[in-house]
């Protein structure tokens, strides 16, 4: 199981990556994250809602009310053009972070 601390800085990238594919509502996002993590991580609802509100207030997402397939009213979130650009920047940062950490974990330490 991956700790919440290890994932904390990457929640925005995870949420934006999902919403890049299609608009969604919070419960569905939580379900997608849980299913994709396949037991390695479970997102807390407060973490998800905090991220959604932060991304929306930053102009990276917008929201709208609609009825879900089950007939329930939901607040859907969709990525904005600024969110698309931010996702690309976060992806670049993630790739660089992973390469840096790999240098240490793979024994490429320079002395």
Q: What is the pLDDT of residues 11-44, one digit of tens each?
A: 999 999 999 999 999 999 999 999 999 989 999 9
Q: Report the Cα 66 to chain-centroid distance in Å.
A: 22
- 109 pLDDT more than 80: no
Contact, 83 vs 62, CB < 8 A?
no
Tokens found for residue 93: 């940062």
Q: What is the pLDDT of residues 35-93, one digit of tens each?
A: 999 989 999 999 999 999 999 999 999 999 999 888 889 999 999 999 999 999 999 99
pTM value is: 0.90
Helices and strands counted in the chain (H then E): 5, 3
């Amino acid at each position: 199981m991956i700790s919440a601390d290890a994932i904390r800085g990457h929640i925005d990238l995870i949420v934006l990556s999902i919403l890049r594919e299609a608009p969604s509502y919070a419960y569905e996002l939580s379900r997608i994250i849980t299913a994709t993590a396949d037991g390695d991580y479970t997102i807390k609802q407060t973490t998800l809602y905090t991220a959604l509100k932060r991304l929306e207030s930053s102009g990276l997402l917008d929201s709208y009310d609609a009825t879900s397939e089950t007939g329930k009213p939901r607040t859907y979130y969709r990525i904005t053009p600024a969110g698309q650009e931010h996702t690309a920047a976060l992806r670049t940062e993630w790739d660089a972070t992973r390469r840096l950490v790999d240098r240490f974990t793979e024994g490429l330490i320079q002395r």
